[in-house]
Amino acid sequence: MLKLENCTMRTDEFALHADLSISQGTRVAVIGPSGAGKTTLIEAIAGFRDLTSGRIRWQGQDLGDLPPGQRPIAMLFQDGNLFAHLTAAQNVALGLHPRRRLSKEERAQVEDALTRVGLSGMGGRKPAALSGGQQSRVALARVLVQRRDILLLDEPFAALGPALKAEMLDLVAALVAETGTTLLMVSHDPADARRIADQTVLVLDGHALPPQSTTEVLDNPPDALRDYLGTAG
């Protein structure tokens, strides 16, 4: 269980309040108007942003004092998810050990992960020699070897075309289902949420609301969300 207990994140411009819990293994979309604080929420969970007050717990453990890399969390950003000077395999390997050379078994693990995301034999290529979709797949392969309990996505597929994005979301859904990972995914597109997230956290008017059923929320959106979506869902 991921618990945000009475959390406040305050910046110069605005404040976001969150008091909610997400059960292990669920797939949650984080939806709300631009500037409402979706990214702020995700960054606070990942540890890139300090809480002004409150606590974040995973399975009872307080994450507050842990730096981002030591939380049980893997995260993909909007861009810059790969190091451009390292090969695909080296990028994936960073999910295992940033510090030392990999053992033979670990190299096999990297190759397996690349195969699982459909990039068998492409480990030697650098990001510049891969398409946008393939780059996303490399990042997902790294998430696989990281074996973290929680995966946070801050719209990493936003730059891909609609068909490719759907393909990547399906891959994400399959991977988290295999590993039992809890998924939190920021999105500005309700179709993404319907596609893979059974629950949705709405971020509206400075509040991140507790998760609700995605279908219900999107079929009967509250007024503020209705304005943002522009239609009745």
Partner 1 sequence: MAERAQPLSPLPGISAALLVAALIVGTLVAVLVRAEPGRGLGVGDLAALRFTLIQAMLSAGLSVAIAIPVARALARRRFAGRAALIALLGAPFILPVIVAIMALLQVFGRAGWLNDVLFWVGLPGVQIYGLHGVVLAHVFFNLPLATRLILQAWQEVPAERFRLAAQLGVNGWAMFRLIELPMLARVVPGALAVVFAICLSSFAVALTLGGGPRATTVELAIFQAFRYDFDLTRAAMLSGLQLILTSIAALIALRLSRADGMGDGLDRSLRRWDARGPMARVCDTIWIALAGAFLMLPLTALIFKGVTSIVSLPMAVWSAALTSVLVAVASTTVLLCMAVPMAAALATRHGRWIEVAGILGLAASPLVIGTGLFLVLRPVSDPSNWALPVTALVNAVMALPFALRILSPAARDTALRYGRLGCALNMGGAPFFWRVFVPRLRPQIAFSAGLGAALSIGDLGVITLFATSDQATLPLQMYRLMGAYQMEAAAGAALLLLSLSMGAFWILDRGGRWHAEA
Instruction: Tell me which residues touch partner 1 (CB under 8 A).
Output: 11, 46-50, 67-70, 73-75, 77, 80-81, 83-86, 94-95, 98-99, 126, 128, 146
- At a CB cut-off of 8 Å and minimum separation 6, what does 202 contact? 31, 32, 208, 209, 212, 217, 222, 225
Q: Between 11 and 24, whose beta carbon lies closer to partner 1? A: 11
Q: Between 62 and 216, whose beta carbon lies closer to partner 1? A: 62
Distances (CA, A) of 202 to 41, 151, 233: 11, 18, 14
* Shortest Cβ 139–partner 1 spacing (Å): 10
* Shortest Cβ 100–partner 1 spacing (Å): 9
Q: Between 11 and 21, whose beta carbon lies closer to partner 1? A: 11
Q: Between 81 and 136, whose beta carbon lies closer to partner 1? A: 81
* Shortest Cβ 220–partner 1 spacing (Å): 35
145 φ/ψ angles, rounded to the nearest 5 degrees: -75, -20
* Shortest Cβ 50–partner 1 spacing (Å): 5
Do residues 160 and 192 make contact, with C-beta atoms less than 8 angstroms apart? Answer: no
Cα–Cα dist 152/173, whole Å: 13
Cα–Cα dist 70/64, whole Å: 11
* Shortest Cβ 10–partner 1 spacing (Å): 8
Q: Between 64 and 210, whose beta carbon lies closer to partner 1? A: 64
Q: Is the dihedral of CA 102, 104, 108, 109 positive or negative?
A: negative
